[in-house]
Amino acid sequence: MQSGPFGLDIAPDEPLRFLERLRRIQSGQAGESMVNQLAGNMGGAPFAYFADWTDRVGGDAGFHDIGFLQLVSPAERDALEANVAMQQRVGITTEVVDADQVRGLLPGIVIDDDQVAAYEPRSGYADPSSATGSLLAAALGRGARLIQDCAVTGVRVAGERVVGVETERGSVDGPIVVDAAGAWAGRVAAMAGLDIPLTVWRHDVAYVRRPPDIGRHVGFIDFDNLFYSRPEGDALTLVALEDGNPIDGDPDASVSSATAGFELRAAERIVRRLPDFGRAGLHSAHSGQDGITPDQHPIIGPAGPDGFWLDCGYSGTGFKTAPAIGDSLAALIAEGPAATDDLAPYGLARFAEGRLIAGEHSYGHMWR
């Protein structure tokens, strides 16, 4: 019933090991990194799902391998080096680069001489509409049925087991129900009698028209200035902020415009780092929402009545991981725990048991 990337990617596919899948992902605005953290700014290594989309999924995900830079403050150098070493151990193409190398990769950048960054030459970004559309086409081709504009209004349970859902257009029978409802996932979980620690995270993005003398640039996250950026096509650049993202809102809230004042804050951040963008013009800005959890990692696994599964709480980082996690979750549902234990840490029980997920070498809190 759901049409986000997770709702579309839980059809069984070839059962690769989860970490192996993660290692192969290339993706979104962030580059590859943090393979040990599902919802980190992972992206990936060698040409798999996103770079090899046509063979793996079919269609086109609009992947552009523009490269990715992770900028951190000099104080976070040790953490950056540890993360790069960890990523290299699992086969990701990444290296630590110094300030002069960063200047070569991102001409015009204002950066201190003692600042370092991680550089992933093969990372990039993909187009969410094309990726989701081709996942949909692949699912339909394998026998999935799409019902649009039809909300699930209840989860039907007989005894201890799920037997289907109620929808705005009647009942649908089924032994498995997966809650992949993004910002609305708490509501759907409540229909199965579950109270999950998931609230709504809102995120604004701005698109600016690059001055004609600035070409397509590398994508980057600037943890020093709490923003990220990447080109969008030939003429535009996307700018978004790590801080000031409203939490606890209404999943039904309109997302057609950005939060008041966002455009100015975004402009100030990118111009601080790349003064040439002072000549850029605002093209547009809008917002979007996702479910966020206390540790900003997803909730994946069975919960509540038998047959009910959670696949939600991606906390703003679920696009890049959707194909890989979808494969693992499909294997887990269809074949049971023997198929994979990759997703075991992401179960709902971790919150009650105080086993929140934390990166070993994080750069501070994103989003909050």
Ligand X SMILES: Cc1cc2nc3c(=O)[nH]c(=O)nc-3n(C[C@H](O)[C@H](O)[C@H](O)COP(=O)(O)OP(=O)(O)OC[C@H]3O[C@@H](n4cnc5c(N)ncnc54)[C@H](O)[C@@H]3O)c2cc1C
Q: By the criterion CB under 6 A, which residues form the site for ligand X?
A: 1-7, 28-30, 151-152, 180-184, 188, 203, 205, 288-290, 312, 314, 316-320
Tokens at 352, concatenated: 């009650």
Q: How far is the CB of 338 from ligand X (least distance, A)?
A: 26
What is the Cα–Cα distance from 178 to 189, expressed in whole angstroms? 10
Q: How far is the CB of 99 from ligand X (least distance, A)?
A: 26
Residue closer to ligand X, measured from CB, 54 or 153: 153
Tokens at 82, concatenated: 């540890």
Residue 311 sits at φ, ψ, to 5 deg, of -150, 75
Torsional sign, CA 178, 326, 41, 104: negative
H or E element: which one contains 246? Answer: none
Q: How far is the CB of 358 from ligand X (least distance, A)?
A: 19
Q: How far is the CB of 279 from ligand X (least distance, A)?
A: 25
Give the strand pairing for 117-120 and 152-158: unpaired
Residue closer to ligand X, measured from CB, 45 or 111: 45
- Using alpha carbons, select from 92, 139, 100, 133 the residue that is nearest to residue 117: 100
What is the Cα–Cα distance from 239 to 237, expressed in whole angstroms? 7
What are 157's strand-pairing partners?
Answer: 162
Q: How far is the CB of 128 from ligand X (least distance, A)?
A: 7
Residue closer to ligand X, measured from CB, 258 or 280: 258
177-179: strand order across its sheet:
177-179, 308-312, 299-302
Residue closer to ligand X, measured from CB, 1 or 194: 1
CB 26 within 8 Å of CB 123: yes
Q: How far is the CB of 259 from ligand X (least distance, A)?
A: 11
Residue closer to ligand X, measured from CB, 116 or 185: 185
**Angle, in degrees to the nearest 10, between helices 322-335 and 128-141:** 30
DSSP string, 173-209: E-S-EEE--GGGHHHHHHHTT---S-EEEEEEEEEEE
Give the strand pairing for 95-97 and 68-71: unpaired
Residues composing the chain:
368
Q: How far is the CB of 185 from ligand X (least distance, A)?
A: 7
Nearest residue to ligand X, scored by beta-carbon proximity: 4
**Cα-based distances in Å from 265 to 185, 226, 289, 315:** 30, 11, 19, 22
Residue closer to ligand X, measured from CB, 30 or 157: 30
Q: How far is the CB of 13 from ligand X (least distance, A)?
A: 16
- Using alpha carbons, select from 18, 56, 13, 48 the residue that is nearest to residue 301: 18
Q: How far is the CB of 225 from ligand X (least distance, A)?
A: 17
Residue closer to ligand X, measured from CB, 110 or 190: 190
The set of residues, in sequence order, having a beta carbon less than 8 Å from that of 328 and lying 6+ positions away, is: 18, 21, 340, 342, 343
Residue closer to ligand X, measured from CB, 116 or 301: 301
Residue closer to ligand X, measured from CB, 47 or 103: 47
